[in-house]
């Protein structure tokens, strides 16, 4: 009897082993990637030889010999041929439709003088219909190689622009998005000449913004912060056709630059409907983590009642709110504790009442929504941290995993730096802004404030908070390589200065890669599904022509994205 039981038991074990072997062999890969350096961003397994993919997810990441067992005749083989692969990059703060529309309208990001802007507008006027609006974005007076003779408060005046476009209204957004530049025709449509005849000065017309005027009290064409609506309310709205075109262009731009996920920093209900429509049509080929635009309380209340939307396919998720609380340094709209060094009578702008910020911090936390607040100046950062702290203290149970963010956190008072870790507030900081802004930002803030509190990456990381990186596209081009370079070098894209600005605040290359992958995923509650190369996570990868983790610093900017894999499929190949 014992012998019979032994035989039966042995048969059962052998049967189970047979089933187990067949089961493991039944796991087959739709794609195998190998032949280059693969950085996982996993602490205990920094690099692997190969990755196997199945059904849009990572089946296995490890040694090539093991992965070969997953191969079939139908498996797509990608040999990196010495190239480098990382997890798919996450644009941690950008404006998706702004990216698309920058492809459609005048793109002024690379202009280096006022004359270049005039020339670009004149070229567009030549083909425009009479009365057609000409719009664009990207100019930045502090980045020009030469300045025009006529300047008011550090900005150009509209006269040359109005000369080349007398009959077409023109409105050109500042690169920061916090100021705009209009010609005479646009200001006429806005009724500024009528106000002048009635004796109303421009400064009487807006709150939380500024219309710049010359010595005679005449508008120069520059509109700061909320004053921009004086012009923008008259610009014709986009059409469904142009929205769809811009969406497609934005998807293509992301793929070309290795971006597989995108934190969309503030979208209205119309954009939500557009995204739903594009997802239904199978066109949502970037994973969008969207923030509801915070100024629309009706929209927020609708979503509070509905609850967060976490897409099971991880294509379109809504679980956060975006608040715009001050302006930008370039337009002197950032809200400061002490006045601007180069404009001693000016502190910037509180573009959203702090009482409103407190209200949304409380209601967002109560309803399970992350709150993400734009703050560049030290006063704005301090005031927002105070409102967040009030909300956390009021509802400590809901605050256990809030992941509230401050977008930009560009200039901080030294006393407020440790508060990010104390309150578990995530700074979403775009390293490329340091590269672009630092040469002239010292004029705005002075040396002491720059050195003690501007672009404090390493200090914040050492305090125990992750940093979410990105570009703030279309404020900067979406290309992640310059932002990575700025993160580790603290230099301009021309390689200046030697050693970098405030070099103690440099990120290591490992930190910079995490800020674009795993830490960015953490900033969206998504670290369990993406951000590193690990079994079970989404099969999103970015492949480069060289190893950006080891090449000499002066060669990092030569790095190019040569392939992007999204959901286990090649969506871009150079």
Taking the chain (574 residues) in runs of 10, the rounded mean pLDDT of each run is: 39 39 65 98 95 97 96 97 98 96 86 93 89 91 88 92 95 91 94 71 74 89 91 90 94 98 98 98 98 96 98 97 95 95 95 97 98 98 98 98 98 98 98 95 97 98 98 95 98 97 98 98 98 98 98 98 98 97
* CA–CA dist 154, 132 (Å, integer): 29
For position 339, what pLDDT does the model report?
A: 98
* Interhelix angle 269-280/240-256, nearest 10 degrees: 70
Residue 195 phi, psi (nearest 5): -60, -40
Task: List, as one string, the DSSP characters of 249-305.
Answer: HHHHHHHHTTEEEEEEEEE-HHHHHHHHHHHHTT---SEEEEEEETT-HHHHHHHHH
Residue 285: Cβ within 10 Å count? 19
pLDDT of residue 396: 98
pLDDT of 1: 40
- For 78, residues 6+ apart whose C-beta sits below 8 A from its C-beta are 31, 32, 33, 34, 35, 563, 565, 570
Question: Helical H runs in 78-232?
Answer: 96-104, 114-125, 159-164, 184-189, 192-197, 229-232
CB-CB contact of 61 with 534 (8 Å): yes
Residues 40 and 518: beta-carbon distance below 8 Å: no
The answer to whether the CB of 517 falls within 8 A of the CB of 86 is yes
**Strand 76-79 versus strand 31-39 pairing type:** parallel
Residue 564: helix, strand or coil by DSSP? Answer: strand
β-pair type (405-408, 57-62)? unpaired
Match 């025009």 to its residue by tokens: 148
pTM of the predicted protein model = 0.84
- Both structure tokens of 491: 């230099």
CB atoms within 10 A of CB 112: 13
> How far from 492 is each of 52, 442, 451, 489, CA to CA, in Å?
39, 14, 17, 9
Kindly report the backbone phi and psi dihedral angles of residue 157, in degrees, each rounded to the nearest multiple of 5, phi listed first: -110, 165
Question: Residue 54 in contact with residue 538, Cβ under 8 Å?
Answer: no
What would the DSSP string read from start to end of 4-45?
Answer: HHHHHHHHHHHHHHHHHHHHHHH---SEEEEEEEEE---TT-
Q: How far is CA 127 from CA 74, 187, 189, 243, 368, in A?
A: 52, 22, 21, 22, 50
The residue among 50, 45, 46, 81 whose CA lies nearest residue 65 is: 50
Report, in angstroms and rounded to the nearest whole number, the Rg of the chain calculated over CA atoms.
Answer: 26
State the pairing for strand pair 31-39/84-87: parallel
> What domains are there in the chain, each with its CATH number?
28-88+533-574 (2.30.40.10), 104-232 (3.10.310.70), 239-532 (3.20.20.140)
Give the bridge partners for 47, in sequence order: 39
State which H helix or E strand residue 428 sits in.
Answer: strand 426-428
Whole-number pLDDT of residue 498 = 97
Q: Alpha-carbon distance 553 to 194, whole Å?
A: 57
Provide the pLDDT for residue 574.
93
Looking at residue 204, the DSSP 8-state letter turns out to be G
Query: For residue 552, what pLDDT is reported?
Result: 98
Q: Are strands 209-213 and 179-182 parallel, antiparallel or unpaired?
A: unpaired
Please report the pLDDT score of residue 110 as a whole number: 85
Close Cβ partners of 484 (under 8 Å, ≥ 6 residues apart): 431, 469, 512, 513, 516, 548, 556, 559
CA dist., res. 162 & res. 232, Å (int): 17
Return d(Cα 373, Cα 386) in angstroms, integer.
12
Number of H helices and number of E strands within the chain? 19, 23
Q: HEC states along 388-423?
A: HHHHHHHCCCHHHHCCCEEEECCECCHHHHHHHHHH
User: Rounded CA gap, 537 and 287, in Å?
Assistant: 14
Q: End-to-end distance of the chain based on CA atoms, in angstroms? A: 70
And the tokens for 338?
Answer: 């002490």
What's CA 35's distance to the chain center, in Å? 32
Give the closest residue to 454 by CA, choosing from 352, 345, 381. Answer: 381
Helix, strand, or coil (residue 370): strand
């Amino acid at each position: 009897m014992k012998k019979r039981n032994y035989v039966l038991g042995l048969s059962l074990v052998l049967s189970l082993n047979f089933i187990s072997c067949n089961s493991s062999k039944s796991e087959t890969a739709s794609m195998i990637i190998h032949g280059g350096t693969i950085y996982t961003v996993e602490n205990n397994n920094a690099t692997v030889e190969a990755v196997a993919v199945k059904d849009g997810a990572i089946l296995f990441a490890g040694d090539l010999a093991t992965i070969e067992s997953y191969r079939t005749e139908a498996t797509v083989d990608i040999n990196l041929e010495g190239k480098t692969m990382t997890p798919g990059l996450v644009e941690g703060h950008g404006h998706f439709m702004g990216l698309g529309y920058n492809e459609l309208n005048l793109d002024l990001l690379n202009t280096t003088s006022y004359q270049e802007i005039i020339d670009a507008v004149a070229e567009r006027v030549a083909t425009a219909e009479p009365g057609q609006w000409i719009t664009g974005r990207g100019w930045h007076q502090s980045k020009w190689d030469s300045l025009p003779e006529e300047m008011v408060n550090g900005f150009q005046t509209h006269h040359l622009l109005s000369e080349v476009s007398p009959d077409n209204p023109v409105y050109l957004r500042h690169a920061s998005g916090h100021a705009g530049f209009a010609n005479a025709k646009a200001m006429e449509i806005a009724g500024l000449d009528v106000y002048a005849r009635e004796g109303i000065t421009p400064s009487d017309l807006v709150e939380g913004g500024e219309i710049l005027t010359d010595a005679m009290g005449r508008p120069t064409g520059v509109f700061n912060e909320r004053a921009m609506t004086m012009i923008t309310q008259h610009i014709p709205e986009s059409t469904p056709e142009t929205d769809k075109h811009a969406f497609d262009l934005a998807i293509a731009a992301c793929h070309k630059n290795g971006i597989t996920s995108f934190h969309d920093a503030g979208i209205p209900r119309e954009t939500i409907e557009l995204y739903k429509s594009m997802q239904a049509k199978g066109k949502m080929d970037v994973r969008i983590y969207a923030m509801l635009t915070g100024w629309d309380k009706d929209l927020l209340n609708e979503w509070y009642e509905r609850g967060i939307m976490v897409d099971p396919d991880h294509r379109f998720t809504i679980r956060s709110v975006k608040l715009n609380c001050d302006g930008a340094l370039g337009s002197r709209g950032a809200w400061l504790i002490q006045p601007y060094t180069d404009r001693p009578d000016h502190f910037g702008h509180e573009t959203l009442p702090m009482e409103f910020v407190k209200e949304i911090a409380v209601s967002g936390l109560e309803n399970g929504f992350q709150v993400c607040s734009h703050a560049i100046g030290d006063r704005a950062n301090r005031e927002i941290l105070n409102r967040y702290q009030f909300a956390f203290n009021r509802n400590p149970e809901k605050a256990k995993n809030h992941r509230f963010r401050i977008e930009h956190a560009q200039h901080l008072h030294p006393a407020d730096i440790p508060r990010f870790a104390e309150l578990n507030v995530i700074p979403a900081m775009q390293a490329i802004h340091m590269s672009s802004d630092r040469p002239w930002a010292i004029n705005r803030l002075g040396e002491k404030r720059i050195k003690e509190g501007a672009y404090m990456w390493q200090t914040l990381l050492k305090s125990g908070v992750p940093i979410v990186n990105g570009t703030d596209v279309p404020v900067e081009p979406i290309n992640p390589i310059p932002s990575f370079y700025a993160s580790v070098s603290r230099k301009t894209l021309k390689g200046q200065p030697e050693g970098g600005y405030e070099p103690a605040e440099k990120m290591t290359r490992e930190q910079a890669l995490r800020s674009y992958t795993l830490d960015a995923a953490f900033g969206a509650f998504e670290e369990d599904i993406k951000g590193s190369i690990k079994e079970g996570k989404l099969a999103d990868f970015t492949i480069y022509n060289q190893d950006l983790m080891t090449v000499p610093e002066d060669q990092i900017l030569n790095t190019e994205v040569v392939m992007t894999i999204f959901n286990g499929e090649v969506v871009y190949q150079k």
